[in-house]
Structures are given as C-alpha cells and as structure tokens.
Structure 1
Amino acid sequence: MQPESRQALLHVAVASCLCTATVYAGVFDGIFIQVGYEHYAEAPVASLPAFLAMPFNSLINVAYVLLGMYWLRRRARAPGRAMEVWRARYLKDVFASMALVYGPVQWLRIATQLHHAAVLDQWLTLPIFAWPVAWCLSLDRGWEPWLLLAIECLSLGSYGLALLHPYGFEVALGAHIIAVVGQALRTHRRYGSATSGTSLALGTLSCLGFVVLKLCDHRLARWYPFQRLTGHFWSKVCDVLQFHFAFLFLTNLNTGQRLPPEGKVH
C-alpha cells in the first residue's frame, strides 16, 4: 500500500473514531431518530442471528466494503508532476476509506437498532457527501489541505441541525446533495468530457433512486417485487452505485484536469 493510501486510511479512521466517541458520549442523545424493525419494510427473520435479522438489508452493506477495497486498489492518474499523482491518490483513497467504514456502521445500525448506532450512521453520511465537493474544489483551486479539512468540519457541524429540529438531518442532507450536484456540474463544465458527463448523469440518477426508494420503502412493499427485496434494500444498491459513479466521475476529471497555477501549488 502506498504511503498516501495509508495516510488516507489513518485520517478517516481517526475521524471516525472521534465521531464514534462523540456519539457514545451522549452529545446527540436528544436527537429524534427512528429505530426498530417496524420502520423497515423487510420483515425480520426470527431464526437468524441479530446481525442477519433482516438479511438483505444487512448483507447489502458488504457491497460498500467491496467497493472501498476495489477503489483503494485502483491506480490514480493525474497530469503533471508526481506530486499531482500523490494528491489524486490521496483524494481517491479518502473516499474509498469512507466506503470501507460506512458499510460496517450501517450494518451496526441494522443489527442493533440502537439510537447511538443510528445517529452515527446519519452523521457519517454527511462528510461522505461533502468529500466530492472538496475534491472538485481541489481541482479548481489547487491543493489546499486546510480547505479540505474546513469543508469536512463544516459538514460534520451541520448535523447540529438535527438537535434543533426533528427534520434537521434531512435539511442538512438535502443541502449536501444540492451542493454536490451544483459543484459537480460546475467542475464538469471546466474539466469534463463525455465520459465524465455520463458518470455524472448516472450518479445523479442513482442519488435520486437512493432518496426516493428509501422514502417509499413501506409504500413499495404493497407490490410483490418489493416485498422481499424492499425499497430500502434497493436504495442501498443505488447508494453503492452513486458512490461508484462519483469515483468514476472524479477520477475522470483528474485525468482531464489542467495543471494548477504555480501559486496554487503548496
């Protein structure tokens, strides 16, 4: 494993541990969040252990881990100096490390149906959506580590909205999605190609599926095709797909990026 890959894994691991400690310290105990199998259309199987009680909604989380491992192993490409390749690999590997962490966190929520696990699942969703914004800005502005950190901290801080209103998380997530799509379109216009445009379109459709299928989980269960493989399950399939298409989009932009101005290289 390359040094930048180890650094990316370490940064994500440390941040995830800090978030976990914050959640289990009770900082977000006042947040309203739905827990319990009744909030899922997939019926739990009593004969299975807790970590497989909802087998399809549980096992889909393996896909996040496989996706993260796949992209960690992929080579990063960028025009110019070796340092540009190092930075491109770091950006890619942070995103891949987020996928590696997110799968087990979601599985923990499904398996335990505990408030702390549900809060952690929600909270870690936000910086994942924020990272493509940071990645796009790094293509525009050059390498600014403090900007990357500021974006992630702002994203994590936005979860405080959930303490102020029962739908605070949904507001924060909606703002993240709008920011991602808007910044992706802007960056695509500057550095994109037909290939990146296809990835952006498919990623946006996957994001739409992720939101709609999850919201319509119980409604869709009235239809036979969604009674075993439920809307929530397919929303997670869409989530994995939007992750993958985001990787394709951003790595394609890396290869099409022009070299940053000298003043922007630190």
Structure 2
Amino acid sequence: MVVRAFLCVLLATLMHVALILTGWFDRVTTELGYDMYAERVDSVPFLPFPMPMNTLINFGYAYAGLAWLPTFSKGSDLWGESFCWYSIFYSMMQLARIVYQTQRTAVLDQWITTTIFCHVTLWIISLPSCDGILIRSLRSLNQRAILIVSFLSYFLSLCSEIGFDIALVVHMLAAVRVGYEAHLSSGNDFSGDVFRKAFLCCLGFVVLKVADLPLREYWTPNCFSGHFLSKICDVGQIYYVAEFVHVLTGKKSETLKSE
C-alpha cells in the first residue's frame, strides 16, 4: 500500500511538472526574487545558502510526512499514506522554490498546494462515520470528478492575477468546512482540540505570509520573518490534519485519551 500511495503521488506530481514544462504557465503571477521576502539572503552568515531559515524550515514538511506515514501504513489507509507522501514531496518543492527562485518551481508550489487541500477534503469525506451538508454533497459526486475540477481550477491563474488566490481560498474553505462537519458528526473533545490547532495553524499560515513584508518594519530578528513563521504554521497544519483524521478513525492510542 505504501508503494501504491507513493506511485500515485509521484505520477500526479509528474503530470503537473510535464504541463508546467510546456511553458503554458510562464505568465502566471508568482512571487519571485529574494526582495519579495522579509528575511535577508544572508540572515544567518554561517549558513552558506540563501534565506537560511526559510530554506531549513522546508524540511519540516518531510518530518511531518515521515512522522505519520508508519501510522497510516499500519492502518492500510491509502488516503493517509498519499497525504504523507505529498507532504514529503512538498518539502522538496518548497526547497526548490526558495533556493532557485524560478517561475516554474513557484507554479509547481502553487499548484500542488491546491492539490493537497483537495486531498484533505476527499480524505475526510471518505470516512464513513462523518456526516454533514457539504460532506453529503461532495460524496454524491465522483471523486475523480472532484480531483479533475480541483486540477483545472489552477487554470484560473491564467485568467487573472488573483486566479490562484481564488482557487486556493475555495480549497481551504472546503477543507475547513468538511473538517468541522466531521468533528461535529463523529468527533470528540480530542478531535475538537486537534481541529482548533489545525485551524489556527491554517489561519497563522495565511496571515503571517501576507504580513511578511509589513512585519519587517517592526520585527527586529530578520531571520525569524513572517514568512518563516508562516511556514512553521504550515508544517503544523499538515501535522495536525493527519492527527485529526487519525482521531476521527478511532485508531488513536489510549495514551492520547489520558493526556
């Protein structure tokens, strides 16, 4: 099952890469150049790579994926394993974007971001114990159709400078909504606590990323920029989403209940 999940994520990623390499998305609006970030290129002089803190934090995605992969592997959860592999792959994509600052690595980062949020939504609605208005509505649709619509939503970035932002907001709201409905229908105090952590991380990711440059005027340690802190929230978001679904499936160990 782990190999199957790995191959599914690999093939999906390669499909994105192949389309990006055609050059169709070279005119998409992205944030390029180190001047788009508050952290200085040489913020940590003894680390010989650009924007060290924003570079190193990308390994956190790999950590989150590797931390949960054995758990979902034992449960033969294909959605969970795929989510973990996406997190691991995303670590490399984010790293490439920060280090190389190219249009195509930026586009890949954006596109896979919406894919991961769609994956979370489909993962949650696949849980038979979960119920809710949006969950029932999405269950009535074909999963492949939802994936295709999600995939095509990135083409909005070709139509408008805020096309990607629109697609991302819709994906995020859908994931948050189905998560909330899942908690209400089949959760408990523990799932509520984890859901709040995931939601706060999601909110922190958005707010701190947007506030990266404005914060530079008031934030003294340049290495700990708003963008860097937003990535910490993003890693936490991935970790807590995995924990949230794990709690909902009822496979969380008794030790959690005693904490």
TM-score (norm 1): 0.85
Say if 2:14 is the partner of 1:11: no
Matches of 2:223 and 2:191 in 1, distance apart? Answer: 35
Structure 2 match to 1:172: 167
Would you say 1:34 and 2:22 are equivalent positions?
A: no
Partner residue in 1 for 2:208: 213
SS at match of 2:150: helix
Cα distance in structure 2, aligned partners of 1:43 and 1:119: 23
Letter in 1 for 2:148: C
Stretches of structure 2 that go unaligned for 5 or more consecutive residues are 131-138, 252-259
Deviation at 1:51, TM superposition (A): 8.4
Contact 2:72 2:80 (8 Å CA) reproduced: no
Q: Which residue of 2 is the match for residue 24 of structure 1? A: 21
Percentage of pairs with the same residue: 33
Q: In the alignment, what sits opposite 2:126?
A: 138
Once structures 1 and 2 are overlaid, which stretch shifts more, 38-47 or 227-236?
38-47
Q: Does 1:251 align with 2:246?
A: yes
Inter-partner Cα distance in structure 2 for 1:211 and 1:226: 21
**2: CA distance, partners of 1:151 / 1:19:** 17
1:51–1:63 distance in 2 versus 1, CA, 3 Å? farther
User: Is residue 216 of structure 2 the alignment partner of residue 228 of structure 1?
Assistant: no
Preserved contact between residue 129 and residue 185 of structure 2 (Cα < 8 Å): no
Report the counterpart of residue 97 of structure 2 in structure 1: 109
CA distance in 2, matches of 1:16, 1:51: 29
2:121 equivalent to 1:126: no
**Distance verdict in 2 for CA 1:95–1:183, change over 3 Å:** same
Residue 32 (structure 1) shift = 1.7
Partner Cα distance (1:103, 1:12) in 2: 13
Shift of 1:149: 3.2
**1:201-242 Cα deviation digits (max 9, x unpaired):** 110000000000000001111223552210000000000001
Aligned to 2:233: 238
- What do residues 114-161 of structure 1 show as CA deviations (whole Å, max 9, x unaligned)? 10111011000001111121012111499x8x9443332221211011
Contact residue 58 and residue 110 of structure 1 kept, 8 A: yes
* Number of the residue aligned with 1:263: none
Specify the code of the residue in structure 2 equivalent to 1:130: C
Question: Does residue 1:157 correspond to 2:152, yes or no?
Answer: yes
- Report the 3-state secondary structure (helix = DSSP H, G, I; strand = E; otherwise coil) of the residue aligned with 2:250: helix
* Counterpart Cα distance in 1 of 2:169 and 2:122: 17
SS at match of 1:255: coil
SS state at 1:45 partner:
coil
**What residue identity is the alignment partner of 1:237?**
I
Q: CA RMSD in A?
A: 2.4
Identify unmatched segments of 5+ residues in structure 1: 78-84, 257-266
Residue 95 and residue 47 in structure 1: after superposition, are their counterparts in 2 closer, same or farther (change >3 A)?
A: closer
- Counterpart residue identity of residue 21, structure 1: A
C-alpha contact 1:41 1:218 (8 A) present in aligned 2: yes
Question: Matches of 1:194 and 1:10 in 2, distance apart?
Answer: 36
In 2, Cα distance between the equivalents of 1:71 and 1:56? 24
8 Å Cα contact 1:122/1:169 also seen in 2: yes
* Deviation (angstroms), 1:47: 10
Structure-2 separation of matches of 1:151 and 1:58: 33
8 Å contact kept, 1:51–1:110: no
Asked if the contact 1:37–1:44 (Cα under 8 Å) also holds between the matched residues in 2, the reply is yes
d(CA) in 1 for partners of 2:35, 2:101: 10
98-107 vs 24-33, which moves further: 24-33
Would you say how many aligned residue pairs link Structure 1 and Structure 2? 242
